Structure 1
């Protein structure tokens, strides 16, 4: 995801007003200037991207959880249909577990 200059300004400007110091070093990932605040050096652009990524994962996770609840509340009586239902539920659970692992990384 590429941010426009305007989006980058919206990320960086509040930092400057909050007392963060722009360093003379740049992020090796995105090239944005690094900042220091309360003794911690960081890239505001990469942090912003990471927050967006986590928010997207949370949204997908919520959708999957809702789908799983619907399936769980509507289990069919027919054995063959029940097996299909359970396979779909198992796949959703597998995907949710992968998303949980993704949230733990990066």
Structure 2
């Protein structure tokens, strides 16, 4: 995609955001330096098309990073549990089935721990 097309699409997304009630902020995206927009309780970059978190102190940055990592890990584990469920449904060998179930229990315990932490 050409730079001109990319800029045109980015501007078009900005206009759409403003029309839908979003507020343009004075802060810029740390990646592309495009203006950030607040939509409801989220801050997004229309050019990167990603959610952005603004932090004031290092402690906030740590907390946001921790929440992000835990959320990503939770999503990964859910995908793995779904894939494992399909393998378990097909498996006939009791030894392999036992091993798959042990892995499933480990994944579920990890998900439970993430839930207790608060992600």
TM-score between the two structures when normalised by the length of structure 1: 0.52
* 2:41 alignment partner, one of 5, 18, 22: 18
Change in Cα spacing, 1:63 to 1:46, as seen in structure 2 (3 Å) is same
Deviation sequence 1:43-83 (CA, Å, 0-9, x none): 22221211110000011111111000011xxx4xxxxxxxx
* C-alpha separation in 2, matches of 1:14 and 1:97: 42
* C-alpha separation in 1, matches of 2:79 and 2:42: 33
TM-score between the two structures when normalised by the length of structure 2: 0.47
Deviation sequence 1:11-35 (CA, Å, 0-9, x none): xx67797389x665423xxx726xx
Partner-residue secondary structure (3-state), 2:88 = helix
Q: Higher relative CO (CA 8 A, sep ≥ 6), structure 1 or 2?
A: 1
Q: Which runs of 4+ in 1 moved over 4 A?
A: 13-17
Segments of 5+ residues of structure 2 without an aligned counterpart are 1-29, 44-53, 115-119
**Corresponding residue of 1:98:** 106
* C-alpha separation in 1, matches of 2:70 and 2:37: 18
Change in Cα spacing, 1:44 to 1:17, as seen in structure 2 (3 Å) is farther
- Matched pairs, number: 72
Q: CA RMSD in A?
A: 3.2
* 1:53 alignment partner, one of 73, 83, 108: 73
* 2:61 alignment partner, one of 28, 32, 53: 32
